[in-house]
Structure 1
Amino acid sequence: MANDLTNSLVDRQNVLNNRYALSQAEHHLALGGVFFDGECVFTKQHVMAMFDVSDATIERYLSAHNEELKSNGYMLLRGKKLKEFKSLSNVTLMDEGNKAPILGLFTFRSVLNLAMLLTESEKAKLIRSRLLDIVIDTVAARSGGKTKYINQRDNQYLLAAFQEQGYRKQFTDALDQYVDANHWKYSRFTNLIYQSIFHENATEYRRVLKLAESDSIRETLYSEVLTLIASYEAGIAHELERASKQLNRKLTQKETEELFSKFEAHPLFIPLILDARTKMASRDLCFRDALHEKLSAYVKSVPEADFERFLGETSKSLEEQLNDPETLAVFKRLKDR
């Protein structure tokens, strides 16, 4: 995660989409506010005092980042809601006026959003620093301190990994049967699959994730990426067999590489590849603080659903999943087919 949140919309949104970190932040930061309509809110006067900035500064940020702040909870009260808010005994509107027809309110989430934007405020800078610490601590605590294998906490991972192993065997068997012998062909053509999907060979991927030689690359891949790799492996195995039988001989290395090029250009894979690149680049930057430079154009903020998926109550470590009777029953059914 970038240390300067003021410059990165993606990093700001990754913080704000992590409800577990926000819950910890609300407890530890203790910013105050007023309880209204089921949540803690802040008037502009509250925010000006909190960050020690002027009304004009707040208005400038509201104008420059209106859509972002609104999407994270900033709201305008009118009519009945405004009347209800004004009736609260602990609310003082001061210069905002008791007769104002519209009143802007910040939720806790949008206050943090503003804190990550404000460059003029030392208090905002302190909140940003504390917030980053809270995010790091929360992700580490909820993932068991093993962000390298955070992909395995997804309840879809085991099934995707199991199925990919089967297609991997089809792929390697096809290389044995239909491609000329070459000591490096398994790693060579596996790297072609990696490069086609995420623009990195095995060595580059290991460097980005800081993996040791003993670490398995596939054990760090997200379920969607594993499923796409399995699709490649099954499809290429089929094409190798078809081409070899048409020629009535094994394929040369060059012919096999040309087959790969034609295969990856099929329109069927375009949306799947784009989705896999986006998920991989975005999640690795958010959860593992790992930037795939060749995929930087695909980085987006991680949606709230992904925080639930990898950090939520239903996410489990691989050991927990393997001890789950329901999971074991699924694998038994697959094995018995």
Structure 2
Amino acid sequence: MIDETVLLESRTLRTSVLDRTEVLDRTEVLDRVKTLSLLPDGLHVTTAMVATYFGVTVEAVRQLKARHRKELTANGMVTLQGSDLAEFKRDILSRYPGSYPQPRSSLTLFPRRAVLNIAMLLRDSEVARRVRAYLLDVEQASRTGLDGPALDDRIDQRITHILGKTVVPMFNALIETSGEHQRELVAMRDGVGRIEQRLRTHHARLRRLEGRNRG
């Protein structure tokens, strides 16, 4: 397993993880940890929104931005000024009144890739730590020849196996020997059966998606 400290210190590793994340179509990792609210364009967040997501101060994000501007810019961070900012204001304000922050002379925007980059730089954020842990799990799986969907696929299969081979038979045995609680046990068993069926459906959907991606 890659040490988290190495990820915090190595730009080369951070870039490798970001590139691997895109290949595996895992940019939704942010939402897996915590829902990331986006601007109405559906692509970017502001400095304040980044701070809110990671549970840190705006100043902490600004300091990080100043220290790692070149790296963050390479990963999509952009600061709008002048005509670019005016055009952005027109687009956002005209379609979504009230969605734009208070007037200012410049505005820094972060796409998801840059937000992931920040997650690999922020030391004092529990959310950032959880994002790093997920990214490192994906990286480790990739290095051992396993992709993200395959890992999820095996987890689903394992859960389904446990439900079908252990939990459901246990309920059946209890129902046979129970008296007054038989109805409740039957309802619980049926609920487990529905969960198992949903997992099987999810498994089949993953297989179809993998087939399309390979095609």
Residue 197 (structure 2) aligns with: none
Amino acid aligned to 2:76: G
- The Cα shift of 1:143 comes to 9.9
Residue in 2 that maps onto 1:48? 51
Residue 90 (structure 2) pairs with residue 83 (structure 1): yes
Is the CA contact (8 Å cut-off) linking 2:30 and 2:116 kept in structure 1? no
**Is the alpha carbon distance of 1:26 and 1:126 closer, same or farther for their aligned partners in structure 2, counting shifts above 3 Å?**
closer
1:48–1:55 contact (8 Å) kept in structure 2: yes
The alpha carbon displacement at 1:138 in A equals 5.2
Alignment partner, residue 126 of structure 1: 130
Equivalent in the alignment of 2:4:
3
**In 1: Cα distance, 2:135 partner to 2:148 partner:** 18
The one-letter code matched in structure 1 to 2:70 is: E
Q: Provide the TM-score with structure 2 as the length reference.
A: 0.56
Q: For 1:14, which of 13, 16, 22 is the aligned residue?
A: 16
Change (3 A) 1:12 1:100: same
Root-mean-square deviation (Å):
3.0
Equivalent residue in structure 1 for 2:111, among 94, 107, 114? 107
Partners of 1:32 and 1:135 lie apart in 2 by 22
Alpha-carbon distance between aligned partners in 1 of 2:149 and 2:118, rounded to the nearest angstrom: 31
Secondary structure of the structure 1 residue equivalent to 2:45: strand
Answer with 1 or 2: which has the greater Rg: 1
Output the CA distance in 2 between the equivalents of 1:138 and 1:23.
15
Report if the CA contact (8 A) 2:8-2:121 is conserved: yes
SS in 2 for 1:17: helix
Note the residue ranges of structure 2 that are not aligned, 5 or more in a row: 151-212
Deviation at 1:111, TM superposition (A): 0.4
SS at match of 1:76: strand
Separation in 2 of the partners of 1:55 and 1:79?
Answer: 23
- Structural mapping, 1:289-308, within 5 Å: none
Matched, 1:25 2:29: yes
Residues 40 and 33 of structure 1: is their aligned pair in 2 closer, same or farther, counting only changes over 3 Å?
Answer: farther
Conservation of the 8 A alpha-carbon contact between 1:2 and 1:11: no
* Counterparts of residues 90-101 of structure 1 (less than 5 Å): 92-93=99-100, 96-97=101-102, 99-101=103-105
Distance 2:86 2:132 in 1: 35
Secondary structure, counterpart of 2:43 in structure 1: strand
Alpha-carbon distance in 1 for matches of 2:141, 2:98: 34
Report what 1:34 is aligned to. Answer: 38
Cα distance between partner residues in 1 of 2:148 and 2:61: 37
Q: How many residues align?
A: 144
Residue 141 of structure 1 is matched in structure 2 by: 146
Q: Distance in 2 between matches of 1:143 and 1:135?
A: 9
Amino acid of the structure 1 residue aligned with 2:4: N
